[in-house]
Structure formats: structure tokens, C-alpha cells
Amino acid sequence: MKYINKIITGSLLAVSAMALLTACNKDMPAIEGNPPVSPVVPSNASAIGDTLAKIPNDTLFYKVLARAGKLSLLNDKTRTFTIFAPDNNAIKSFITAASGGLIPAGSPDAVYVGFINGVLRTGQADTLVSYHILPQALPSASIPTSFPNYVYPTLFNPATTVSALARLDNYVSRRATGVWQNNIPVTVPDILAANGVIHTTAAVAVPPSQLLLQRIASDANLTYLWAAIQRADSGAVAGSTSSLQYYLGNQNIALGANFTVFAPTNTAFIAVLYATAYPIVRGQLYAGAYAQAIGAGATPTQADAAATAYADANAPAQTNALVGSPTVFQNPALYPYLTATTVKGILFYHIMGVRTFSPNIPTTATPVPTLLNSAIPTHPGITVTATFTGPFVSAATVKGIANATASNILINPQPNGTSDQHYVNGVLHEIDQVMFPQ
């Protein structure tokens, strides 16, 4: 209670109507003063497709491009492109995973080529490579070093029946330590071709197909977050634009949405719920035991001692039982403390209206806005910082203004991991504390 009741709920009443509407369909604008520039290349240089054919470490990706039927497009010198080209090791790792291990790591190159030409369907290959191609030359010097990631559309249209112009974006960033496509490091930047630029990458960027809410609702380590979202939406009409579930889980608006969700784990929620519920439970136990002792003829001093001992002995277990299930958010005894508005305000404080991968987090503590800032522009937001080991983020934190210590982002960017989890409408990072805005 000492944490949750510190939220000024009156200030949050306007958040559901303002903050999400501001964040939805919000792409970062082009960086002023730093537009993409065309690299200078010799007039007799090869086009991108032919240039890739000559790079020994990109032979397998070249095979995927051929399978997708994209070579003629990439060799068209009247067009301009940037292509993020996963190196041979990246393609091998992808194929080993895509085959379910039937093609083990270390197989001969001919085996991987056989998978590309015989198992990978042309439509799958087209989807994959289209997500790695940008329709303009983007040399690394033109990628901003600022926060957040630079948003750039790819050639991949995941919803052709909805709009011929629909595209999934790449989110590129640059630091002194390197360049990234989403959270994938570029290993060899700026291989120039007559009609654009090639950046070799360390992994395949798989285009997202699920929504943030689908991950939250199905993750066994985020059941409290899912229950909190349902509690926050309990005063809204199901499926309405005033609900969190609409913005995090509606397929119709997903392509236009950009969110970063810092998702507290179950353990994180249990810790703060315990701190909230313990004084309530202890107070109730004390009051009952005190009344019983007085009724049995004890003096006030005797009753106080007996009630204190009883409450101290039993409150921990009963509090653990109370908060030990996500249904705690539906417990009427806690409704005065976990109101829908209060819970919604706390959740908004865990969501940014831009998509941020961990390599784009600054290496010095930097304040950034959350959805609360759409309703409270002067709020200081949250503070983020990242630590790099080589080209990878090895540690990162995010701190709420009222938290004594920073929350750790649980670094594991693998599929179904805990950081840099990429979805159609945003990115999810699991954290080990609930954050509080005041």
C-alpha cells in the first residue's frame, strides 16, 4: 500500500483517453539534418545482387535471394536499396533452427544449399529477404546515433489484402561501438554497390508475426502482468479504444503501433503486492485477535501483546497466500488499493510509445518518456542505461522515479527469451521490479 497509494490517481484519469491515442500509429519522424545520403561508388561498380555474389561470406544468403526471385530487382541500377545480408554462419544457424535440428550445426554447405533450394518455399524466402531490404541507400554514416531507434520501412508487406502500401519496419541504430538492424549487430558495414549499400549482419532478422498481448497472455512468467492488464481494463467496454488490450492486441491497428513494454515478471509483482497487502492483512489479524482477547477478559496491555504476537506469526503466511495467485487483482479486499485507474497508471508507466531495442539504449543514465507523459508532459519519465560487451548488450537497467533502485532488464534476446522480443506492434523486455512514477 505504501507504494501503490503514492500514485496520484486523479492525474491518471485522463491517461486512458490521451496516452494510448497519442502513441498509436506513431512512427519517429525523419531525423532533421541527417537524411540518408547516397554513397559515392565507381560508375562501373556492380549492382547489389552481383556484388553479393562476389562476397565469400554471403554465398548462402545469395542463394536465398535467388530462391526468392529477388536478384533481378537488386540488379536493377535504376533502383536504390540497402540490404542487411546475414553472413553464412547466420544462415546456417537459421536453417538449423528452421529444420528443427534435422540439419545439425556443422553440416556441409551443400546440405544447407539443398534446404534452401528444396525445402524453403519461394514465398518463405521472399518474406525473409524482403524484410532485410530497405528501398533507399542507407550508409552507416547516415544512421543517427540518437535515441530511439531510427525507423525505416522494408520491402516486406505482411498485409497485401489490407493495403498495397503496408510495410514492416526495420529499427536501425548506431553507436561508437557499431551499427545494428533491430538488435542484430552489423559485422561488415558499407559494402558499396552501384545501386546501394550492403551491410553484413551476424544473424537473420525474422519478421514478427505475433502481437505483444499474445506474448503477455501466454507467458507463464507474466501471468501477473496479464491479470494487471485485465484489472486496468475492468472499467472499459471490452474491445474499446480505452482499453490496454485494444492497443496491445488488436490486429487491425498493429502495423501502425510502436510500443516498448517493460514487463515485470511474476516475482516482481509478487514482491510489491506483498509489500502492499502485508500491513492490511496484519492489521486485520491484529484487530481480530485483540477483540478476542478483550472478550476473554484480558487487559488492554495483555490483549495488545497477544494480538501483536498472533499477527506477527500469521501475517506472512496469509499474505503470501493472498498474493500467491494472479487472482489477487480480482480480490475485492484489495479493490480500494488496486483500483482500475491506479493499476492502469502503473502499467502506462511501463510502456513507451516508441520501439526500442537494447543496443539503442544509451550507455549513460538517460531519462526517457513513457505513455504517462502524454497526459503529464512534465513527468520525468523513466531512466534507462545499457552496458555493452563487444557488440552485444550484456546488462541494462530501467528505473522508475520513485524506485530506490533500478530494475534489471533480463538479458536473453533468443526467441522466446526475455529481452528484445520483437512483435508486430512493439518490443518486450522483461524486468525484475515494478516501477512507480511517484
Give residue-wise pLDDT tens across range 258-279: 999 999 999 999 999 999 899 9
Residue for cell digits 530501467? 398
Task: Answer whether the bond into residue 148 is a cis peptide, omega within 30°.
Answer: yes
Partners of 85 in beta bridges: 200
The domain made up of 48-136+169-201 has a fold known as FAS1 domain (2.30.180)
Residue type, 256: G
Mean pLDDT, residues 214-224 taken together: 97
Residue 110 parent element (H or E): helix 109-118
User: Sorting pLDDT into bands at 50, 70 and 90, what band is 158?
Assistant: confident
User: Sorting pLDDT into bands at 50, 70 and 90, what band is 283?
Assistant: very high
Distance CA 149, CA 143 (A): 9
Distance CA 324, CA 330 (A): 13
Distance CA 68, CA 383 (A): 43
Q: How many residues does the chain have?
A: 438
Domain residue ranges of the chain, discontinuous segments joined by +: 4-27+209-268+334-431, 48-136+169-201
Note the helical H segments in 340-420: 340-348, 372-375
Residue 431 parent element (H or E): strand 426-431
User: Sorting pLDDT into bands at 50, 70 and 90, what band is 176?
Assistant: confident
Mean pLDDT, residues 218-237 taken together: 93
Distance CA 308, CA 315 (A): 10
Backbone phi and psi for residue 341, each to the nearest 5 degrees, phi listed first: -70, -40
* Cell numbers representing residue 375 in the block: 497526459
Partners of 264 in beta bridges: 431
Residue 178 half-sphere exposure, CB side, CA atoms within 13 Å? 20
pLDDT tens by residue, 38-80? 565 555 689 999 999 999 999 999 999 999 999 999 999 999 9
* Cell numbers representing residue 225 in the block: 502482468
Distance CA 321, CA 227 (A): 17
Backbone phi and psi for residue 241, each to the nearest 5 degrees, phi listed first: -75, 0
Question: Is residue 136 packed enough to be buried (19+ CB in 10 Å), middle (13-18) or exposed (0-12)?
Answer: middle
Residue type, 338: L
Cα distance from N-terminal residue to C-terminal residue, the chain: 13
- Count the Cβ atoms, other than its own, within 10 Å of residue 332: 6
Q: Quick check: do 4-27+209-268+334-431 and 48-136+169-201 share a fold?
A: yes
Q: Are 365 and 382 spatial neighbours (Cβ–Cβ below 8 Å)?
A: no
Q: What angle do CA 190, 193, 199 make, to 5 degrees?
A: 30
- Class for the domain spanning 4-27+209-268+334-431: mainly beta
Mean pLDDT, residues 74-87 taken together: 96
Please give the share of the chain, as a percent, with pLDDT higher than 90: 77
Distance CA 26, CA 388 (A): 29
Distance CA 97, CA 103 (A): 8
Distance CA 197, CA 191 (A): 6
Distance CA 315, CA 322 (A): 10
**pTM of the predicted protein model:** 0.88
* Cell numbers representing residue 132 in the block: 532485410
Which pLDDT score, from 0 to 100, does residue 333 have?
80
